[in-house]
Structure 1
Amino acid sequence: MRAILQAFLVPGLVCAATLASAAEKTVLMATWRGCEEACRGVIDHLAEAAPEISVVVRDAARDRTQLTGLMDEARQAEADLIVSWGTSVTLATAGTLAQRGDPAFNHDIPQVFMIVADPVGSGIVESLDHTGRDNVTGTYNRVPEQVNVETLRELLPGMDALGLLYNPNEPNSVLKRDELAELVPDYGIRLLDRAFVLSESGAPRAEDIGDQVRALKASGADAFYVGSSSFLRANAAILGAAARDADLPVLSPYEEMVRNGHALISVAARYYEVGRLAGQQVEAILVEGRAPSDLPVARMKDFALTVNLEVSRDIDLWPPIALLEFAEIIK
C-alpha cells in the first residue's frame, strides 16, 4: 500500500516521513495552496505507474514563512525526490541558477517543478530544453501569451486597451506584466497595468481589488487579463464581481475562474493533466533511473478553451461563433 499523507507542520512532516519509510522511494511534494488538481494528478499517476513510491505532501498554505527551512525538512525526511508546486515554492527550494553554490538551496535531491509560469524568466532553468541544473527538471503548462492576446482580439476585434493588475510581491506576476508590455504593442493594443500597493506585511489587500478594477475601466480598458497571480486567483470572486459591475470581460489562465463564474473566457492546460505530466517526470527519474539533467522540461501540448455564457449575459458580450464552435460552454 502506498502512503499518501498530508503534513502541514514540521512535526507532522517528520511523522509522515517515518510512516512512509518502509516504501522503496519517498517523494516530498511541496505545495502552495493545498493538494489541488495538479497535486492529485501527480499522486494518481504514481499510484498507477509506481505504487511502491510514497508521497508526502507539505503545504505552505499561502504563507511564505512556511517555506523557510523546507530543504532542511526534506533532508531530515530523506526524501528521494522533491516535487515543487509554483514559482514561490520552487525558488524557496531549488533557488535560481545564480544560487547554485548556495547550500541553503537544493543541489542534490532530484527535483521536479510544476505550475511555474516562466521557469526561464524566473531564473530557475537555462532553457526548457536544457535546464542547466544537475538535479532539476519540471513541466511547463502556460499557453503562449500570443494565443491569449489573439483570443481577446477575436472576442473584441476593436480592442484598444487591455487592463492588468499585478502583484509586485509575486515574481511571475511581474514577469507576465513585462512580457505583455513588450507583446501587446505589436497588436496595436495599449497595456494599462496597475501594481497593487503592498501592506506593511508585504502583501496586497483584497479590499483594493474593486477600486483597481474600476480605475482600469475609467482609464479605458476594454478587457481585463488576469496574467499570473496567485493573489488574484485566491480572490477570484471579488475580482469577478468587480469586473461584472464594470462590464469588463475577463480572460483568465485559470480555468476554474470561468467554471465558477468569475471570468468570461480561459485558454489553459488542465491542472490535473499537468500533474500527471509531472508524475511522468518523477517516474522517469525514480523508476527508470534517468538523471534530471537529461530530461528537458516537459511541455503541455493540449489546451482547453472555456467560455461562461452566464458571464456573457451579465456583461452583454457574446463570443463569436468561431470561438464557441470549439469551446467548452459553461451555462
Structure 2
Amino acid sequence: MKSRKLGAAAAVLWLGALTCAFAEEGAAKVAIVTWRGCEEACQGFQDYLNESGHQIEFTILDAAQDKAKVPGILDAARAAGSDLILTWGTTVSIGIGGTLEDQGTAGLNVDIPQVFTIVADPVGSGIVRSLEQTGRPNITGTYNRMPETVTLQTMRSFLPSVRHLGLLFNTDEQNSVIKRDEVATLAMAQGLEFTALEIALDEDGKPSPADIRPKMAALKDAGVEFVYVGSSSFLQANAVALGEAAVAEALPVLSPYEDMVRDGAALISVAARYYDVGRLAGEQAAKILFDHASPGELPVLRMTDFAVTINMSVAGSIGIYPPMGLLQIAEIVE
C-alpha cells in the first residue's frame, strides 16, 4: 500500500483522538469513528487486523454522543490520509457516509472505503439498498442483530403468558425510531398489545435520563408485562437508571445488549457478542485493504452466532424466574 506521511495532527488532537499502534512507515491507515468510545467491537476490529500480519496505524475518533462533532471527524480522517474508515453505530455511519438518498450531498464520504458496524437496521435506515448489494460503491459493513421474530419468541419462552409488550425510545437516534416501528408492526402481526413511549428531550435537545423512571412507571400503568430495549445507545449508556426503574416496577427487560444483563440493568439478552462483531468488521476491512476488494461489491456480512444471557439476581429482584428449558441454553450471570 502506498506510504503516506502522518499529517493533520492538530485536527486530530482537537477532536480528542487517541492514536494507537502502529506508526511504522508503510502502515495501512485506518480511522475508527465511534459514538461512545472504543468498546468491545472496536477492540475486536483492531485485534483482527493486527493478527493479519500487516502493519496498521489506527486512529480512534470519538463523537462522544454528539452529532455536531461528526463532520469535523470526517475532515480529520481525510486529513490523516485514512485508507479506510470504520463507523460504529447508525448515527455515526449516516453522519460520515449519509444514506442512499443523500448521495450528491456535499460533506459526506463518497470516496474513502467505509465499513459500518453495530448498525441496527442498515437497510431500514437507508444506509444500504440490501444486505446482498449495498448500492454504495465505497461502503459495506456488518449486520449483528437477531431477527426480531426470534426476540419475541425468546420473550414468550421466558414468560409464556405475556400479552403486552412495552418499549422506550429516543428520537435523537434514527435507529431507535426505526426499531420502534419494526417492533410495533411485528407485535401487531403476532397479536401482542404494544406500547412505546418516547423519552423526553432536555433543553439541549437530548433525551433526559431523568425521564426514564417516570416512563417505566407509565409502561407499568399501561399494563405492559415485558419491556424491550430496542435499539438505543442512550438507554445502553444509561443502563443503571433503566435497571433501577425496571426493578422498581417489577418489570422484566429484554435487551439486545449483553452488557446490560451482565451489569444488572436487564433480565435477559439475545445478542451477538460485540467483540465478535468487531472481528467480522475486521474481516471486511482486510478484504478491502489487503485483497483490494471493492467495498460496493462486498455483501454486508451477517453474524450467525447469538447468545442468550440471563441475570438471576434481577430475576430474584422482580420475582420472575426463567423456565428450565431456557436455563438449559442460556448463560447465567448473577
User: TM-score w.r.t. structure 2 length?
Assistant: 0.93
Structure 2 CA distance for aligned equivalents of residues 63 and 53 of structure 1: 27
Distance 2:136 2:193 in 1: 38
Within 1, Cα distance between the matches of 2:251 and 2:11? 38
5+ long unaligned stretches in structure 1: none
> Using a 3 Å threshold, how does the CA distance of structure 1 residues 302 and 16 change in structure 2: closer, same or farther?
closer
The question of 1:198 aligning with 2:196 is answered no
Give the match for residue 245 of structure 2. 242
Mapped contact 2:48–2:283 kept (Cα < 8 A) = yes
Change (3 A) 1:12 1:232: closer
Q: Deviations over 1:121-149 (max 9, x none)?
A: 11100000000010000000001101111
2:44 to 41, 58, 61: 41
Instruction: Report what 2:159 is aligned to.
Output: 156
Q: Distance in 2 between matches of 1:323 and 1:126?
A: 36
Q: What code does the residue aligned with 2:126 have? A: G
CA distance in 1, matches of 2:134, 2:326: 36
- Pairs within 5 Å for 1:47-66: 47-66=50-69
Report how many aligned residue pairs link the two structures: 326
2:3 maps to none
Determine the structure 2 residue equivalent to 1:68: 71
Q: Is 1:310 aligned to 2:313, yes or no? A: yes
CA distance in 1: counterparts of 2:61 and 2:161, whole angstroms: 47
1:213 aligns with 2:238: no
State the shift of 1:175 in Å. Answer: 0.3
Write the mapping of 1:1-331 to structure 2, written as runs, cut at 5 A: 9-11=12-14, 16=19, 20=23, 22-331=25-334
Letter in structure 1 aligned against 2:233: S
Post-superposition shift, 1:67? 1.1
* 2:93 partner amino acid: T
8 Å CA contact retained: 1:249, 1:263: yes
Q: Deviations over 1:286-313 (max 9, x none)?
A: 0111110111000000000000111111
SS of equivalent to 1:194: strand
- The offset of 1:74, in angstroms, is 1.6
Residue identity opposite 1:156 in structure 2: L
Query: Any gaps of 5 or more consecutive residues in structure 2?
Result: 1-5
Paired residue secondary structure (1:123):
coil
Q: What is the alpha-carbon distance in structure 1 between the residues aligned to residue 313 and residue 11 of structure 2?
A: 38
Output the amino acid matched with 1:144: P
Alpha carbons 1:254, 1:266 under 8 Å: kept: yes
**Whole-angstrom distance in 2 between the partners of 1:284 and 1:309:** 42
The structural deviation recorded for 1:14 is 8.7
Secondary structure in 1 matching 2:128 = coil
Q: Which moved more, 1:153-162 or 1:85-94?
A: 153-162
Amino acid corresponding to residue 182 of structure 2 in structure 1:
E
Verify the 8 A CA contact 1:14 1:76 in the aligned structure 2: no
Deviations 1:40-59 (A, max 9, x none): 00110011014312111111
| SS class of match (2:314) | helix
The one-letter code sitting in structure 2 at the alignment partner of 1:230 is S
